[in-house]
Amino acid sequence: MSEERFHTKAFKSLLHDYETQVRNGESVFLDEDDFMDVIEYYGSIQQMDKALQAIDYALTLYPGSAMALAFKARAVMTTDHDTQKAKAYADEIADQSDPECLLLRAEIMLNEQKGDDADAYLRKCANEMEDDEKEDFILDVVLLFSDYNQMDLAAKWLKHSHYTKDADYQEAKARIMISRGDYEGSKKILNKLLDKDSFSADYWNYLASAQLLQGRHAETLSSCDYALAIEPNNLDALFNKSKTLMAMNQPAKALEVARHIKQIVPNDPSAELVIGMCLMDMNKLDKAYDHFHNAYEMALRSKDNNIVVSALEQMTYLNCQFGKKKEALRVLDEANDMRRNIGLESNLVLRGFVYLSFGDLKEASDSFRKAVIFAENYTETIVTIASMVVDCGYYNIAYSLFRTVLLSSGDNEIKAGWGYYARCCYELDKPQEYQMALKQAIENCPDEAKSILSDLYPEGTDVKDYADTPTLDDINKL
């Protein structure tokens, strides 16, 4: 929803009256929709204490309010990952058939990693609705699945919507297109939406995501800044900005943004994780490890298993850098326990990397082979393995793997891996093949190309100019 409403005289007057009543200890009287505007405003500026206070006032006047209780339930899932408490709030909603309540129950299932159950539940709910109510509900479902990165389910539901001109429909379509690599198509839709509603921080953030995935860093920063002009503490914009600055090889500036995120949400382990990534890019490995460990401990307390696993995996990489094989494997075992056998493939790939880092080729090969067996996407897994093999300096092995998937698979949708493949060709003195792989890397994965190939070119060379720029080796031969 657009944040333009928060800049209107009517809302500013409403907020002033509300805050005056609260400050003076007076009874607060607002209608339910006005309460929700105040609550959502505080949420948008990351003042959750005030948002929750406003919810309590709202529930005093409107006990059983679906909107207020749903907001409270989502807040507890975000901060504490407590789905049981969220279910308790859902049970307090007076009208259990309210679409807000139905969507909340599905969202709880998504937080419990039960996407198929949520889909089945929502289909049952939709089948019991009248047609006019069902149309709005379908778009709400699409956006819900999109928020949880369940893009296949979102796309399936979007096919049932007839509101093709609706802004929510267009937003969902753009987000699905981004997930499928159609960045240009998504940008066309988002720019049209922004022409009609330039005060939507969400639209600017989705546009920034598409631009970042294309490696268009200057455009990404511009979109982030537009979002931040609307909402100065918008976390999505700040995370995108930090990622972009890291991709631009400006880790010190990225670190400034990450530390600002930490100030806004001091208890969010994601902030610690990003700070660690910045420090790792700055080669401050000991400090990076400390922040990854902080992220791990904070995520354990908040029961955010995804962050726990991410932090442990980064700690595994660093232990390899420190030459601590035993500790790297111990940390990786803990990450596997936290996954509860979900994502076993990823753990096996990383385990192979650990062994390869220490020259244990047989153990590495066994782990990689098992990872391929468990792989949901064979091609992506081989590309990931081959990239790790390049990082460990085994160019001949990686070269053979890349040729198997990038040149022989017939999959024209492969975006990643071309930069690493180009590096193999360069190291193995295959200049014509290098130029072919380089062209694909610049087109499909410019950030990867910059990360793995930048040391071959004069400092400051733009990645898009690599194909027309002599390498440092070529210059030294002149």
Distance in angstroms (rounded) separating the CA atoms of residues 205 and 43: 17
Is 34 a residue whose pLDDT tops 80? yes
Under the banding of pLDDT at 50, 70 and 90, the label for residue 412 is low
What pLDDT, on a 0 to 100 scale, did the predictor assign at position 2?
55
364 close to 352: Cβ distance less than 8 angstroms: yes
Q: Is the dihedral of CA 454, 458, 460, 465 positive or negative?
A: negative
Distance in angstroms (rounded) separating the CA atoms of residues 304 and 307: 6
Q: For the residues 5-10, what does the mean pLDDT come to? A: 86
Distance in angstroms (rounded) separating the CA atoms of residues 4 and 193: 14
Does 129 or 343 have the greater pLDDT score?
Answer: 129
Q: For the residues 443-458, what does the mean pLDDT come to? A: 93
What pLDDT, on a 0 to 100 scale, did the predictor assign at position 131?
82
Under the banding of pLDDT at 50, 70 and 90, the label for residue 290 is very high
Under the banding of pLDDT at 50, 70 and 90, the label for residue 409 is low
**The tokens 């268009």 sit on which residue?**
216
CA nearest to 169, candidates 192, 200, 138, 194: 138
Instruction: Say whether 61 sits in a helix, a strand or coil.
Output: helix
For the chain, the straight-line distance linking the first and the last C-alpha, in angstroms and rounded, comes to 59
Q: If you write DSSP's letter for every residue of 342-387 in order, what string do you get?
A: TTHHHHHHHHHHHHHHTT-HHHHHHHHHHHHHH-SSHHHHHHHHHH
Distance in angstroms (rounded) separating the CA atoms of residues 352 and 155: 35
What pLDDT, on a 0 to 100 scale, did the predictor assign at position 258?
97
pLDDT tens digits along 192-216: 999 999 999 999 999 999 999 988 9
pLDDT tens digits along 120-135: 999 999 999 988 889 9
Is 396 a residue whose pLDDT tops 90? yes
Q: Which amino acid is at 18?
A: Y
Q: For the residues 19-37, what does the mean pLDDT come to? A: 91
